[in-house]
Structure 1
Amino acid sequence: MKRRNLLTAFAWGAASLALAAPLAQSAQAADAPGVAFVYLGNPGDAGWTFAHDQGSKEAEAKFGSKIRITRIENVPESADSERVFRDLANKGNKIIIGSSFGYQDFELKVAKDFPDTVFLHATGYKKAPNFGTYDVRMYQGAYLAGVAAGYVTKTNTLGFVASVPIPEVIRNINAYTLGARSVNPKVHTKVIWINSWFDPGKEKQAAETLIGQGADVLLQNTDSSATLATASEKHVHAFGWDSDMKKFGPDAHLGSVVAHWGVYYNAAIQQVLDGKWKNDPVWWGIPQKAVNLEDLNTSAIPADAQKQVSARRDELAGGKWDVFTGPIKDQSGAVKVPAGKTLTDPELQRLNWYVEGVDGSLPK
């Protein structure tokens, strides 16, 4: 669930101009079915919007002249986004994709007025006959990062730069900790919340504070590369998030938890073209190759750790085991997930407690 707060009045002005002028489109047949992507920010070269844009480019490469792609950038999660979705629908696009959580109600409102258009929404939970949601299981990648971190840490203290206290982020904190403690039970995780999805200044400050508290391997659930860059400056380790961030701190970088949105986009577009699309919620992960821990730093991660990461990835890919399979205890030592039980998707989507090994308490 992404509610990015990246935008300024200038950014929205740029999006408004895009509505008045011809939309940026790929060079494809004018009569091909239109597929429109709506982005919260500018793709840049890393992070959330970049990952979605990479997915759109994969679809462009796969379908070629069979579709006509439009991309609208810098659209805020506000009532103004409704105008963007409505304009795209009025222009006859067959598929309209809102890539951020805050678009949900505005996109759904437009969907009800255009029953012949398919609306796809990232990380949402609502449903209509022509409106479906999709997400990726980033927590599986966070778990693998934790496995590597459990081997690499020298202080047995991990750090997590957290955005906003919602189940998505809590899942990732817990998964990171579970992965680390599966190979190193002495590990504990310190968390700092910045209450924003994108604030490089706060991300840097949080990373510095965590490092000052002894954390020597960091993970983030935020959108900039500031955490990794700060780890590099302070000579500790960190992971990239959403996309490969290695270039922002090659020596510090242990790997990146990458979302492969193109896997879903290709499948959904094909289903619509074939007349087989259904509005069932989609939540894909490692089994579908929608998430992975990539570009491992083999010079910093011991060989045994690399083998463990690979083995756990294979277990997840097999689909018979998941990160939140018990026994799992909470901070008080109480068993929250009994042995042999795995949290269901609805339970994961309501998760509001820390696992054993996470320091501190959740914000009220």
Structure 2
Amino acid sequence: MKRRNLLLTAAALSVGLAAGAAAQDDPVKVGFVYVGPIGDFGWNYQHDLGRQAVEEYFGDKVETTYVEDVPEGPDAERVIRQLAQSGHDLIFTTSFGFMNPTIKVAKQFPDVKFEHATGYQRADNVSTYSGRFYEGRAVIGHIAGKMTESNIIGYIASFPIPEVVRGINAAYLAARDVNPDVQMKIIWVNSWFDPAKEADAANQLYDQGADVIMQHTDSTSPMAALEGKDVIMFGQASDMAEFKPKPRVSSIIDNWAPYYIERTQAVIDGTWESVDTWHGIDKGMTEIGEMTEAIPEEVRESAQALADAIAAGEVHPFTGPINKQDGSPWLAEGETADDGTLLGMNFYVEGIEGQLPN
């Protein structure tokens, strides 16, 4: 009887070891949740390029999944939970409004690793990551201030969250630094991806005299709407190179691939830890796209010099003296904004007209 039990135990152990070996050979499953379509050629497209880079780098060591067009809210929670339930080891949720759903699902799946883009809530199994997009907006703001002839810069904004407000302020301050007469007109479309609204906003800004237009929305429809008009524009999140050399004269590119590869490798190695990552031009997470010849050579040179100085830590886009919109002091002469203030920025700087929506 004892011998029979010993044999059964040995057999069970053998099966268990075989199952463990098979599990070790299984690919790491990595999921991605996108707020819009990967065909937007902007934000979501660029994240999906990062996903493809993971596949190319790791080969059959990983298996990736993506879900596109996921609204921020209950639908996001459902999708994130489904990915966790289906055996994904690592899940990237790539929009600000996915923050609370990510945190909620992460509590229910402590063995799954989560990475949330542009948010601020972390947990033992939730990291946050973002690019210092405002650095890129300072560079294109410099170009805008140098090139505008009407002194009116238009800005198509998505939602009044700190990330977007930072970008507006950084672009305006850089433009005003080289052109004190510049004005900024802002239209809020309350959407990350709505081609019709974005195109309509672009036309409205053009009709209001803007000869330079920026955007913090995801589609290429503003450029398509104004192609052939006397206006310059900038790629958002991806290069949007199909509109070169004009209206797209440069771009802000979000390069997620190195981060996605690094974090996937950490899961494979068993070294993944919850971290907060906020990289900019210096680390290549924020890139400045090719400046076309539609930009005068001296402006290309000064814009590149600014980008290089930001990367080297010699220039900070938010350096005083800077007042808030109501005229109250914010940064004294030579003082730079700390990350905590930037992460919670909820005000316009002095000189921007109009009220910041709630």
TM-score (norm 2): 0.88
AA at the equivalent of 2:350: E
Q: Which residue of 1 aligns with 2:13?
A: none
Are positions 1:289 and 2:298 aligned together? no
Say whether the 8 Å CA contact 1:98–1:120 is kept in structure 2. yes
Aligned with 1:307 (options 297, 301, 308):
301
- Give the whole-Å Cα distance in 2 for the aligned partners of 1:114 and 1:96: 11
Question: What letter corresponds to residue 337 of structure 2 in structure 1?
Answer: L
- 1:129-208 to structure 2, matched below 5 A, reads 129-208=124-203
Alpha-carbon shift at residue 45 of structure 1 (Å): 5.0
Change (3 A) 1:187 1:80: closer
Partners of 2:68 and 2:25 in 1: CA distance: 21
Deviation at 1:191, TM superposition (A): 1.1
In the alignment, structure 1 segments of 5+ residues that lack a partner are 1-28
Aligned counterparts of 2:167 and 2:184: Cα–Cα separation in 1: 12
**1:214 counterpart letter in structure 2:** G
Q: Is the 8 A contact 2:132 2:281 kept in 1?
A: yes
Letter in 1 for 2:55: E
Partner in structure 1 of residue 91 of structure 2: 96
From 318, 331, 347, the equivalent of 2:341 is: 347
Percent identity, please.
44
Compute the displacement of 1:144 (Å). Answer: 0.6
- Structure 1 contact 218–231 (Cα < 8 Å) conserved: no
Is contact 1:229-1:249 (8 Å) kept? no
C-alpha contact (below 8 Å) 2:327/2:350 kept by paired residues: yes
Which of the two has higher C-alpha Rg? Answer: 2
Partners of 1:363 and 1:226 lie apart in 2 by 24
Structure 2 counterpart SS, 1:44: helix
Paired residue secondary structure (1:34): strand
1:316 equivalent in structure 2: 310
Secondary structure at 1:96 match in 2:
strand
Cα 1:63/1:201, change in 2 over 3 Å: same
Instruction: Please report how far the alpha carbon of residue 322 of structure 1 lies from its aligned counterpart in structure 2 after TM superposition.
Output: 2.0
Task: State the match for 1:257 in structure 2.
Answer: 252
Contact 2:306 2:315 in 1 (8 A): no
Shift of 1:176: 0.9
Instruction: Give the whole-Å Cα distance in 2 for the aligned partners of 1:276 and 1:260.
Output: 23
Shift in Å, 1:216: 0.5
SS in 1 for 2:37: coil
C-alpha distance in structure 2 between counterparts of 1:318 and 1:264, whole Å: 21
Which whole-Å deviations, capped at 9, do the CAs of 1:184-209 have from their partners, x for residues lacking one?
A: 22222111112222222222222222
What is the 5 A alignment of 1:44-59?
Answer: 44-59=39-54
The one of 341, 351, 356 equivalent to 1:357 is 351
What is the deviation of 1:90?
A: 2.5
Rounded Cα–Cα distance in structure 2 between residues aligned with 1:43 and 1:33: 23
Structure 2 spans left out of the alignment, 5+ residues: 1-23
Q: Does 1:80 find its partner at 2:75?
A: yes
Alignment of 1:324-343 (within 5 A): 324-343=318-337
